[in-house]
């Protein structure tokens, strides 16, 4: 399911809530990466993140003890958390999601500077966009593409930092080998609890991002990913490239996930050793001891 289809469903739910007397609202993320917390405080646990240009649904709001405005939001993958108001632009009633129509520019490198003019040296960048960010795009020249940021500011981004596509178009599904090559580009990026951007990933945020960029959608957490309807169970020992492998103590929940990139090798974001995106061997005694199963996308 692509972003537009998901948001049609979200807007339909919003319409039903409105008919029932509720006041649904949507907002767009205006920061490069916005933390989502377990409570309305910057010191509360980070449960996830959302990236620049993502339209989210507002569930509730409150002003905390410090006088800060916070919003409880729901992301397109149905994840919920509290985000600081300064990371959002509230959309008007009936507004369409940002970058949901016409031409969009999708960032395909880990980081892309957004410029105020068609120059990399005339002024400092207005912002930075991480891989996967989709921006409303206008005319594109030989080197630069004109965009409109989620805050409404016109800007420019270098053509080499991404690709132009139609907002409503389906993402091309990569082959298993292409997904593995994509995942290997992330090797060495930092591990970050709650992270799901190229500034840092946790295990499920990493595979969710790789799968999304490969044309497949996953829930946010590893336990939900293992139970996802779009995946089928694979017997132990029959793993192949792009399969997801899940781990956790036998008497506890699934707590870790990685993606196979070879017959025995998997890639994952983990705090073991150096906390980075790294590789592991599924036959290593540690991983074999907490192995919980393998899942593969349906054909």
Residue 36: what pLDDT?
A: 98
- Record the tokens describing residue 176, joined without a space: 């298993």
Residue 24: what pLDDT?
A: 63
- Give the long-range contacts of residues 152-158, CB within 8 A, separation 24 or more: 152/89, 153/126, 155/114, 155/115, 155/116, 155/126, 155/127, 156/114, 156/115, 156/116, 156/117, 156/118, 157/105, 157/107, 157/112, 157/113, 157/114, 157/115, 157/129, 158/112, 158/113, 158/115, 158/120
Average pLDDT on 229-255 reads 96
145 is catalytic: no
Q: Please report, for the domain that includes residue 74, its CATH number.
A: 2.30.30.40
Q: How large a percentage of the chain has pLDDT more than 90? A: 87
256 is catalytic: yes
66 in any annotated domain: yes
Whether the Cβ atoms of residue 220 and residue 194 lie closer than 8 Å to each other: no
Residue 12: what pLDDT?
A: 52
pLDDT tens digit sequence for 83-101: 999 999 999 988 999 999 9
Specify whether 138 is located in the same domain as 244.
Answer: no
pLDDT tens digit sequence for 118-146: 998 989 999 999 999 999 999 999 999 99
Last residue of a domain, one of 55, 90, 125: 90
Residue 2: what pLDDT?
A: 54
Q: 174 or 122: whose pLDDT is higher?
A: 174
Quote the number of domains for the chain.
Answer: 3
Specify whether 51 is located in the same domain as 73.
Answer: yes
> For residue 15, what pLDDT band results from cuts at 50, 70 and 90?
very low
Task: Please state, in angstroms and as integers, the Cα–Cα distance from residue 280 to each residue in 245, 257, 285, following that order.
Answer: 11, 11, 11
Q: Which of 37, 158, 212, 268 is catalytic?
A: 268
37 is catalytic: no
Q: Is pLDDT at 157 greater than 50 in this prediction? A: yes
Q: Which domain holds residue 41?
A: 3-90
pLDDT tens digit sequence for 282-295: 999 999 999 999 99
237 in any annotated domain: yes
Residue 6: what pLDDT?
A: 52
Last residue of a domain, one of 67, 90, 113: 90
Specify whether 147 is located in the same domain as 188.
Answer: no
78 in any annotated domain: yes
Burial category of 169 from C-beta neighbours within 10 Å (exposed 0-12, middle 13-18, buried 19 and up): exposed
Average pLDDT on 220-228 reads 96
Specify whether 76 is located in the same domain as 110.
Answer: no
Q: Which of 287, 288, 293, 199 lies closest to 246 in space, CA to CA? A: 293
Q: Is pLDDT at 9 greater than 60 in this prediction? A: no
Computed over every residue of the chain, the mean pLDDT equals 92
Q: Which of 145, 158, 203, 212 is catalytic?
A: 203
Specify whether 184 is located in the same domain as 249.
Answer: yes
> For residue 171, what pLDDT band results from cuts at 50, 70 and 90?
confident
Residue 170: what pLDDT?
A: 82
State the Cα angle at 183 between 219 and 253, rounded to 5°: 40
Residue 165: what pLDDT?
A: 94
Stated pTM of the model? 0.89
| Alpha carbon distance 106, 103 (integer Å) | 10
């Amino acid at each position: 399911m692509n972003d537009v289809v998901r948001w049609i469903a979200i807007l339909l739910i919003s319409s039903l809530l409105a008919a029932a007397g509720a006041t649904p609202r949507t907002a767009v993320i205006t920061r490069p990466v916005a933390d989502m917390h377990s409570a309305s405080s910057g010191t509360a646990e980070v449960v996830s993140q959302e990236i620049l240009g993502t339209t989210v649904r507002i569930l509730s709001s409150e002003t905390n003890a410090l006088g800060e405005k916070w919003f409880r939001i729901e992301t397109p993958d149905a994840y919920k958390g509290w985000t600081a108001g300064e990371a959002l632009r509230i959309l008007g009633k009936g507004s369409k999601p940002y970058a949901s129509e016409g031409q969009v520019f999708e960032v395909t490198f880990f980081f892309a500077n957004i410029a105020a003019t068609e120059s990399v040296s005339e002024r400092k960048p207005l912002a930075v966009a991480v891989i996967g960010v989709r921006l409303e795009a206008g005319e594109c020249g030989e080197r630069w593409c004109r965009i409109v940021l989620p805050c409404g500011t016109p800007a420019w981004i270098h053509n080499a930092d991404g690709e132009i596509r139609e907002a409503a178009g389906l993402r091309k599904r990569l082959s298993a080998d292409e997904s593995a090559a994509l995942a290997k580009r992330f090797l060495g990026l930092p591990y970050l609890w709650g992270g799901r951007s190229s500034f840092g990933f946790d295990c499920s945020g990493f595979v969710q991002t790789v799968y999304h960029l490969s044309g497949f959608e996953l829930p946010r957490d590893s336990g939900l990913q293992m139970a996802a309807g779009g995946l089928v169970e694979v017997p132990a020992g029959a793993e192949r490239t792009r399969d997801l492998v899940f781990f956790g103590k036998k008497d506890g929940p699934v707590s870790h996930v990685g993606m196979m990139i070879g017959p025995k090798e998997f890639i994952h974001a983990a705090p073991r050793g150096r906390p980075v995106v790294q590789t592991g061997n599924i036959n290593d005694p540690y991983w074999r001891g907490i192995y919980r199963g393998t899942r593969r996308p349906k054909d």
